[in-house]
Each structure stands twice: as C-alpha cells, then as structure tokens.
C-alpha cells in the first residue's frame, strides 16, 4: 500500500503553487478543513513534515520540495496515460501542449500554429511561452509535449531531453531609415562604435548571446554606446523606427517592419550573428498522433526554409 493518494499529490502541488491553504482548496474545489486533513494524513503516513506553517506563511520544507518533484512527475505521467488512451480511442483527435522560448513564441511559432490548426482543426492545441530553462523543465516533467527554443539548455536538463537542430535564426542590425548609414550596404566593425544602441537589459539571454558573438569578433562591447535598455523586442523595434538608435533583433521579428519600410538592415563586414533553434521533447514520453503530426509540420517547415 502506497503512503499517499493521487489526490494528496494534487493537494501538495496546489499548496506549493498557491502558497495558501484557502486558495489551494478553492483551486481543487475542496473545503479548507478537508484539504488540511489530507495533508496531515500524508505527513503522518510519510512520517515527515512537508509544509512549514510558521509566521502564517506557507512554504515547503526540504522534504516537501523533494517529494513535490516526484509528485509532479507522477501526476504528469497519470495525465499522459489518460491522453494516450484517449488518443487511441479518438483516432486523429487529441490534445497537444506546445512550448516555446520568448522570441520564438512571439514571432515564429504563431505562423506554425496557424498552419497546423488549418490542417488539423480537430486537435486541441495549448501553448506555453517562457524562458528556455522553464520550458525545458516542463518537457522533462512531462507537462509540455514538444517545444522550440533558442537559448542554451541547462546541462542537468539536457541529458533528459531529445534535442534536435531546427533552423538558424539570424540577428540583424537594424537602424532608422533616415540614419546616415542607411545608404551603406556594408559597414565595418569600427562603424559600430559610432552607433547609438537600444538593447535588452544586461541579464537577457539574447543580450548575453549577442555580446558574446561580438566579443569573439574583437569588438569591445563595453565601448558601444548604449543609450537605452528596454524589456521587450516590440519596444526596441518601435524605438528604432522612431529614429532613436540601432539594435540587434531576430530576423523573424522584423518581417512587418521590413514590409512597411520603417527600418533598414545593415550588414557588418565579416560578422554574422546566428543561433541554432532547437526542437526539444522527452524521449521517454508517449508520442501521440497529434505529436507526430506537429513534429512532421516542423520538419516540413525546416525543409522549406533551408531550400
């Protein structure tokens, strides 16, 4: 006999998420006394304290945090088993949870999803957009089926994932149409020091990636004139369009601006900033028909982009 029930695992997860007994009970449609009673039973059966209740603040003990990791995996596996059976019963119908890192989820993924939804309207799609680290963690925990990411995957998660190269994502140097450099087709490394840059904040993964590539090409990034730091790609594009400065932006994010001719792309002599986008999935998970349909769509898109 196991010392816990699935309901108790759900309760523990809800408490960890809400950090409040009343909110957790409401989330699970339980009364607070019933929820508290189940936690007491769980702690008694395990013979350990899982939840700190000091100073009216709710948090998990070290034991609770370790147990929660397994609880989340158990619950995800239970949900996966139900989905597998439903998939077999319904044929080509099914559900699919797709993940993406921030820039991909905003600019590239919507086009993929639109085409997929037209071709397979019977499949229920859910999308999660977050940092590469969190998306990878959700894949490992079986909470997301498949994802496209651009950042570096943490080593401790990478070993539990199937990581496949998708397409190359180039970062373009964009400037206002009225900028004096707009007449140039190619600029030198030294020209970069004469530009005023608008960037993401220094903690941004994309910012760090771009700075690293520039440094590898003997460009002193600390000597570049950064006049503004913003927290969104949309804000950066708008600022450039208004003539405030220059910026490095993913090519997938500037298609509209190119069509409207609100910005100009500059090429830098002997420098090309690209990163490889990756498709990630959990090799131990059941691959539904919906998964295979979506995966094939990604492969078809990859082929079309490469040609």
Please check whether residue 85 lies inside any domain of the structure. Answer: no
Indicate whether 175 and 266 sit together in one domain: yes
pLDDT category at 301 given cuts 50, 70, 90 is confident
Indicate whether 12 and 155 sit together in one domain: no
181-190 confidence digits (pLDDT tens) = 988 879 999 9
Task: Give the DSSP letter string of 174-199.
Answer: EEETTSGGGG-SEE-TGGGGGSEEEE
Please check whether residue 67 lies inside any domain of the structure. Answer: yes
Please check whether residue 68 lies inside any domain of the structure. Answer: yes
Indicate whether 141 and 114 sit together in one domain: yes
Cβ-proximal residues to 273 (8 Å cutoff; 6+ apart), any chain: 170, 171, 210, 213, 214, 248
Structure tokens at 209: 């990636």
User: pTM (2 decimals)?
Assistant: 0.71
Please check whether residue 215 lies inside any domain of the structure. Answer: yes
Can you point out the beta strands (E) in the chain?
A: 51-52, 59-60, 94-100, 123-129, 146-149, 162-176, 186-187, 196-200, 225-230, 247-250, 263-268, 273-281
Please check whether residue 179 lies inside any domain of the structure. Answer: yes
Task: Provide the pLDDT for residue 202.
Answer: 85
Indicate whether 34 and 127 sit together in one domain: no
Indicate whether 122 and 40 sit together in one domain: no
| Rg, the chain, Cα only | 24
Indicate whether 122 and 264 sit together in one domain: no
Contact, 127 vs 99, CB < 8 A? yes
Indicate whether 224 and 152 sit together in one domain: no
Please check whether residue 86 lies inside any domain of the structure. Answer: no
Domain finish residue from 30, 50, 79: 79
Give the span between the Cα atoms of 264 and 241, in whole angstroms.
9
Q: Report CA dihedral (237, 242, 244, 245) to the nearest 10 degrees.
A: 50
Total structural domains within the chain? 3
267-277 confidence digits (pLDDT tens) = 999 999 999 99
Indicate whether 45 and 101 sit together in one domain: no
pLDDT category at 81 given cuts 50, 70, 90 is confident
Give the span between the Cα atoms of 143 and 256, in whole angstroms.
33
Indicate whether 194 and 218 sit together in one domain: yes
Indicate whether 187 and 257 sit together in one domain: yes
Q: What is the CATH number of the domain that holds 99?
A: 3.40.190.10
HSE (CB half, 13 Å, CA atoms) of 164?
A: 13
167-209 confidence digits (pLDDT tens) = 999 999 999 999 999 888 799 999 999 999 999 998 888 999 9
Indicate whether 100 and 179 sit together in one domain: no
85-119 confidence digits (pLDDT tens) = 877 676 566 789 999 998 898 888 888 898 898 98
Q: Position of tokens 């998990």? A: 60
Task: Provide the pLDDT for residue 84.
Answer: 76
Q: What is the CATH number of the domain that holds 22?
A: 1.10.10.10
Please check whether residue 231 lies inside any domain of the structure. Answer: yes
Indicate whether 28 and 73 sit together in one domain: yes
Question: What is the domain extent for residue 37?
Answer: 6-79
11-46 confidence digits (pLDDT tens) = 999 999 998 999 999 999 999 999 999 999 999 999
Whether the per-residue pLDDT at 74 is higher than 90: the answer is: yes
Q: What is the mean pLDDT of residues 214-234?
A: 93
Please check whether residue 11 lies inside any domain of the structure. Answer: yes
Whether the per-residue pLDDT at 266 is higher than 90: the answer is: yes
């Amino acid at each position: 006999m196991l010392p816990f029930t699935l309901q108790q695992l759900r309760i523990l997860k809800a408490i960890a998420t809400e950090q409040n007994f009343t909110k957790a009970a409401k989330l699970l449609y339980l009364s607070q006394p019933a929820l508290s009673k189940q936690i007491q039973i769980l702690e008694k059966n395990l013979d350990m304290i899982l939840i700190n209740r000091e100073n009216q603040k709710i948090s998990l003990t070290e034991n609770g945090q370790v147990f929660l990791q397994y609880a989340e995996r158990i619950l995800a596996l239970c949900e996966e088993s139900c989905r597998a059976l439903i998939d077999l019963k319904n044929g080509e119908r099914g559900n699919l949870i797709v993940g993406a890192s921030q820039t991909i989820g905003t600019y590239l993924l919507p086009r993929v999803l639109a085409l997929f939804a037209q071709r397979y309207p019977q499949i229920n799609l859910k999308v999660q957009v977050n940092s590469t680290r969190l998306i990878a963690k959700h894949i490992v925990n079986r909470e997301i089926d498949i994802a496209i990411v651009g950042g570096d995957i943490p080593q401790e998660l990478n070993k539990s994932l199937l990581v496949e190269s998708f397409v190359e994502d180039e970062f373009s140097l964009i400037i206002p149409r009225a900028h004096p450099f707009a007449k140039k087709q190619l600029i030198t490394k030294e020209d970069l020091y004469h530009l005023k840059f608008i960037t993401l904040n220094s903690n941004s993964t994309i910012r760090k990636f771009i700075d690293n590539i520039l440094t590898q090409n003997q460009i002193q990034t600390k000597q570049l004139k950064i006049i503004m730091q913003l927290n969104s790609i949309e804000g950066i594009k708008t600022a450039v369009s208004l003539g405030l400065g220059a910026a490095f932006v993913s090519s997938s994010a500037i298609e509209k601006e190119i069509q409207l001719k609100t910005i100009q792309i500059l090429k830098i002599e002997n420098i090309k900033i690209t990163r490889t986008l990756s498709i990630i999935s959990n090799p131990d998970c059941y691959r539904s028909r919906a998964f295979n349909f979506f995966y094939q769509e990604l492969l078809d898109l990859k082929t079309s982009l490469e040609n």
